[in-house]
């Protein structure tokens, strides 16, 4: 038999002015199942709470309704009070007679009547309530970081320094990401590698970081606190434990004409190589597409060809037969930090991306039209030219360099409406690097706007213009073409209104920042969402910038939107802090208001599985004692379910129920109103 207690609050004058609280208590006293009803001036005050606690004990109450303010205000307060009196906290409900009654009505009689009706409905609901226990989920205190660029490195180091184990997965053969390709960084012009490589070494040497370079995330299952990740360790053809990084193999390789990806195609590398001298791990990868031995095998030649690298290796580390291996790691949280790619704006574009390219700029056809990253390599002291800025076509020092901003960005008609954010700044930096190295050179910049918001950023661009004499022309370039020795630049200056035709020795395109090509597939594996351009969606654009909509999965750096280095680092640290916060508890506590399936009656149509926004519904086989399959039923993972109840409204037989909002409870409320 239900023994319900009703506690009506005056909230000083807030409720009392228009609702006669003692009449409400009086009316409820005669309501079936109510054994105790009283009113008090401030129910949330200490004496008020004591009143509730004592009444629970004195009347052996089985449920409590506090008729007061919104549950958003004091549901937690009163559930704690109820729990302190030894009653399950989920046997307490709030009847909102302040925000939704006394404050919105003037007529005392009407408001009191409505307050009585609201309170009665909640009494009926609470009769149908059942005790619920907080769900506790164990947490695996290890984190997976996907992507070893600066954002991933920062996140991994912060996590590891904070005491967590970290698994860092990088698809390239070395960590470092795009930052390792940059010459110098804005706005301080310090050398990118000088500040990055110590951090890379720290990663390699950290006792709590397990680095899987040249590896990719293959499969992800599980949920917050309990993910299982399968990592594909791609075959390097080099035994990781034997190799000591001496580089003898790369010296021995006879094929030295492979375009070097790290140098953005501006240099050459052997078929077995490390991307750059400071690579972490310092271990080569054999490019089977370019290796003479593997090319011969593909042609059907059975005789072993070449093998010079293996001969050169004193440790016998070259392993031509090596295959991809898989390792499975258990982690409690995941940080996505896969970074960006530059929009390759040639005519040919992969299908289905909705991008048409910019064929009129001759990128890929005219050798002296390059993109921003290629310029970084030209300017880099460790680059293919040793830091001499020269033309890729003839090695001559360019006397006039034209920089084009917003190539591909802010152009909705061609597929990318967003601003790539970093280009204004790095173009200004390029201008400076160029002018520092070619004193008599002329730098011309075509821009739409100069967006230099950031600490020291505007001062930096002003310097490029005022001190370095860069000529900024507001306008777009229509066409680039090769004319004998020069690149013709046809554009328009929208400020002066004059058409322009310039002869450039070198043209640098600040092409749009895009997410990495495999991002959608990865997002699918992780059950997180991307925006229309493929950037990972954060949970809230303002308040939850490094969380995703999937609990336990976080995001950092340029895979979420175009980001510069300080922002990527800040996001990496922020995501790490979020993960450490999660790991600070031994167990994850979750509200028990999650869905539960009635397996006995579930018909297994799995409509619930299809509508669940969180992928919380799985399938479970039901077998009889002899082990024969009886049926397959839906099962809700309480660690993933957020309790929205869409499954329940969709289930034709109503055989899945959200605890705390069961059909029985809602029915009772409807019937009482």
Nearest CA to 254 out of 267, 270, 236 is that of 270
Q: Which stretch binds another protein (CB under 8 A): 321-329, 390-398, 408-416, 654-662?
A: 654-662
Nearest approach in angstroms of CB 635 to another protein is: 14
Q: Is 110 in the site for another protein (CB under 8 A)?
A: yes
Nearest approach in angstroms of CB 671 to another protein is: 5
Nearest approach in angstroms of CB 543 to another protein is: 13
Q: Is 623 in the site for another protein (CB under 8 A)?
A: no
Q: Is 611 in the site for another protein (CB under 8 A)?
A: yes
Q: Is 104 in the site for another protein (CB under 8 A)?
A: yes
Cβ proximity of 427 and 445 under 8 Å:
yes
Binder among 498, 604, 615, 620 for another protein (CB under 8 A)? 604
Q: Is 51 in the site for another protein (CB under 8 A)?
A: no
Nearest approach in angstroms of CB 590 to another protein is: 14
Which one-letter DSSP state was computed for residue 626?
T
Binder among 5, 48, 63, 71 for another protein (CB under 8 A)? 71
Q: Is 655 in the site for another protein (CB under 8 A)?
A: yes
How many chain residues touch another protein (CB under 8 A)?
59
Distances (CA, A) of 655 to 100, 532, 651: 33, 36, 7
Q: Which is nearer to another protein, 219 or 531 (CB)?
A: 531
Nearest-angstrom CA–CA distance, 184 and 494: 32
Q: Footprint of another protein on residues 542-561 (CB under 8 A)?
A: 549
Binder among 45, 50, 59, 70 for another protein (CB under 8 A)? 70
Q: Which stretch binds another protein (CB under 8 A): 137-145, 381-389, 436-444, 648-656?
A: 648-656
Binder among 25, 52, 111, 580 for another protein (CB under 8 A)? 111
Q: Residues 314-328, buried b or exposed e (16+ Cβ, 10 A)?
A: eeebbbbebeeeeee
Binder among 49, 96, 174, 181 for another protein (CB under 8 A)? 96
Q: Footprint of another protein on residues 115-174 (CB under 8 A)?
A: 117-118, 121
Sign of CA dihedral 416, 418, 420, 425: positive
Q: Is 198 in the site for another protein (CB under 8 A)?
A: no
Nearest CA to 318 out of 212, 243, 235 is that of 243
Q: Which is nearer to another protein, 96 or 173 (CB)?
A: 96
Q: Is 657 in the site for another protein (CB under 8 A)?
A: no
Cβ proximity of 164 and 130 under 8 Å:
no
Binder among 280, 556, 645, 656 for another protein (CB under 8 A)? 645
Q: Which stretch binds another protein (CB under 8 A): 1-9, 35-43, 107-115, 148-156?
A: 107-115
Q: Which is nearer to another protein, 260 or 537 (CB)?
A: 537
Binder among 22, 23, 88, 100 for another protein (CB under 8 A)? 100
Q: Which is nearer to another protein, 7 or 614 (CB)?
A: 614
Q: Is 658 in the site for another protein (CB under 8 A)?
A: yes
- Our separate counts of H helices and E strands in the chain read 18, 34
Q: What is the CA radius of gyration of the chain?
A: 33
Binder among 295, 593, 596, 622 for another protein (CB under 8 A)? 593
Tell me the two tokens of residue 5.
Answer: 């207690």
Nearest approach in angstroms of CB 427 to another protein is: 35
Nearest CA to 545 out of 568, 565, 523, 566 is that of 568
Binder among 132, 296, 606, 622 for another protein (CB under 8 A)? 606
Question: Which own/partner contact pairs does 267-274 have at CB distance under 8 Å and 24+ positions apart?
Answer: 267/377, 267/383, 267/384, 272/237, 272/238, 272/309, 272/318, 274/173, 274/174, 274/245, 274/247, 274/250
The pair phi, psi for residue 329, each rounded to 5°, is -125, 140
**Number of Cβ within a 10 Å radius of residue 131:** 11
Nearest approach in angstroms of CB 9 to another protein is: 15
Alpha helices in 248-371 (DSSP H): 248-252, 292-298, 308-312
Binder among 169, 258, 648, 656 for another protein (CB under 8 A)? 648
Question: Which own/partner contact pairs does 393-397 have at CB distance under 8 Å and 24+ positions apart?
Answer: 393/367, 393/368, 396/505, 397/438, 397/441
Q: Is 27 in the site for another protein (CB under 8 A)?
A: no
DSSP letters, 349-381, are --TTS-----GGGTTTTSTTEEEHHHHHHHH-T
Nearest-angstrom CA–CA distance, 477 and 487: 12
Sign of CA dihedral 93, 98, 104, 110: positive
Q: Is 524 in the site for another protein (CB under 8 A)?
A: no
Q: Which stretch binds another protein (CB under 8 A): 68-76, 315-323, 428-436, 480-488?
A: 68-76
Tell me the two tokens of residue 415.
Answer: 């597929």
Nearest approach in angstroms of CB 621 to another protein is: 13
Phi-psi region of 11 (alpha: psi -120 to 50; beta: other; left: phi over 0): left
Q: Is 42 in the site for another protein (CB under 8 A)?
A: no
Distances (CA, A) of 369 to 268, 373, 660: 19, 12, 64
Q: Which pairing describes strands 226-233 and 215-223: parallel, antiparallel, or unpaired?
A: antiparallel
Q: Which is nearer to another protein, 131 or 138 (CB)?
A: 131
The contact set with another protein (CB under 8 A) reads 70-72, 96, 98-101, 103-107, 110-111, 113-114, 117-118, 121, 549, 593, 600-607, 610-611, 613-614, 631-632, 642-646, 648-650, 652-655, 658, 661, 663-664, 666-671, 673
């Amino acid at each position: 038999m239900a023994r319900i207690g009703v506690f009506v609050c005056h909230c000083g004058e807030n409720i009392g002015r228009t609702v006669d609280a003692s009449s409400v208590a009086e009316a409820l006293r005669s309501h079936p199942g109510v054994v105790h009803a009283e009113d008090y001036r401030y129910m949330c005050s200490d004496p008020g709470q004591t009143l509730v606690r004592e009444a629970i004990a004195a009347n052996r109450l089985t449920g409590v309704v506090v008729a007061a303010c919104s549950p958003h205000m004091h549901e937690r307060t009163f559930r704690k009070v109820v729990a302190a009196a030894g009653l399950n906290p989920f046997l307490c409900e709030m009847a909102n007679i302040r925000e939704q009654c006394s404050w919105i009505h003037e007529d005392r009689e009407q408001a009191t009547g409505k307050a009585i009706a609201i309170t009665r409905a909640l009494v009926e609901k609470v009769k149908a309530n059942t005790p619920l226990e907080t769900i506790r989920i164990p947490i695996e205190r290890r984190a997976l970081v996907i992507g070893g660029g600066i954002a991933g490195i920062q996140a991994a180091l912060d996590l590891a320094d904070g005491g967590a184990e970290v698994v860092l997965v990088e698809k390239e053969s070395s960590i470092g990401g795009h930052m390792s390709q940059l010459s110098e960084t804005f706005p301080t012009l310090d050398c990118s590698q000088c500040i990055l490589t110590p951090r890379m070494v720290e990663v390699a040497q950290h006792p709590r970081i397990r680095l899987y370079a040249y590896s990719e995330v293959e499969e992800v299952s599980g949920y917050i606190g309990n993910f299982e990740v399968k990592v594909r360790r791609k075959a390097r053809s080099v035994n990781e434990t034997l190799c000591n990084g001496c580089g003898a193999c790369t010296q021995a390789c006879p094929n030295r004409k492979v375009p070097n990806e790290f140098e953005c195609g501006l240099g050459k590398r052997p078929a077995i190589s490390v991307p750059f001298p400071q690579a972490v791990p310092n271990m080569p990868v054999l490019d089977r597409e370019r290796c003479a031995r593997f090319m011969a095998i593909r042609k059907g030649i059975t005789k072993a060809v070449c093998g010079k690298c293996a001969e050169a290796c004193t440790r016998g580390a070259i392993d031509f037969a090596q295959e991809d291996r898989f390792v499975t790691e258990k982690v409690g949280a995941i940080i996505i930090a896969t970074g960006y790619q530059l929009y390759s704006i040639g005519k040919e574009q992969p299908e289905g991306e909705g991008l048409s390219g910019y064929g009129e700029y001759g990128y890929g056809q005219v050798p002296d039209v390059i993109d921003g990253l290629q310029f970084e390599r030209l300017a880099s002291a460790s680059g293919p030219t040793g830091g001499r800025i020269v033309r890729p076509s003839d090695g001559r020092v360019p006397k006039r360099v034209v920089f084009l901003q917003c190539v591909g960005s802010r152009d909705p008609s061609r597929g990318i409406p967003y601003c790539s954010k970093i280009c204004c700044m790095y173009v200004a930096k390029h201008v400076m690097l160029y002018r520092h190295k070619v004193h008599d050179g002329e730098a011309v910049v075509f821009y739409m706007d100069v967006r230099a918001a950031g600490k020291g950023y505007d001062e930096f661009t002003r310097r490029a213009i005022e001190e370095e004499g860069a000529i900024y022309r507001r306008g777009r370039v229509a066409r680039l073409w090769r004319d004998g020795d020069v690149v013709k630049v046809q554009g328009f200056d929208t400020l002066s209104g004059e058409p322009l035709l310039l002869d450039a020795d070198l043209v640098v395109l600040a092409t749009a920042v895009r997410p990495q090509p495999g991002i959608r597939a990865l997002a699918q594996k992780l059950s997180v969402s991307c925006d229309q351009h493929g950037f990972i969606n954060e949970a809230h654009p303002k308040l939850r910038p490094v969380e995703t909509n999937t609990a336990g999965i976080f995001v950092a750096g340029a895979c979420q939107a175009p980001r510069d280095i300080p922002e990527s680092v800040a996001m990496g640290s922020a995501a790490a802090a979020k993960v450490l916060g999660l790991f600070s508890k031994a167990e994850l506590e979750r509200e028990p208001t999650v869905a539960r399936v009635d397996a006995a009656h579930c018909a297994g149509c799995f409509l619930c599985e299809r509508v669940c926004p969180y992928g919380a519904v799985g399938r479970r086989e039901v077998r009889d004692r002899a082990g024969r399959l009886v049926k397959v039923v839906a099962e809700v993972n309480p660690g993933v379910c957020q309790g929205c109840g869409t499954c329940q409204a969709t289930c034709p037989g109503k055989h899945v129920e959200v605890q705390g909002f069961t059909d029985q409870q809602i029915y009772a409320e409807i019937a009482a109103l």
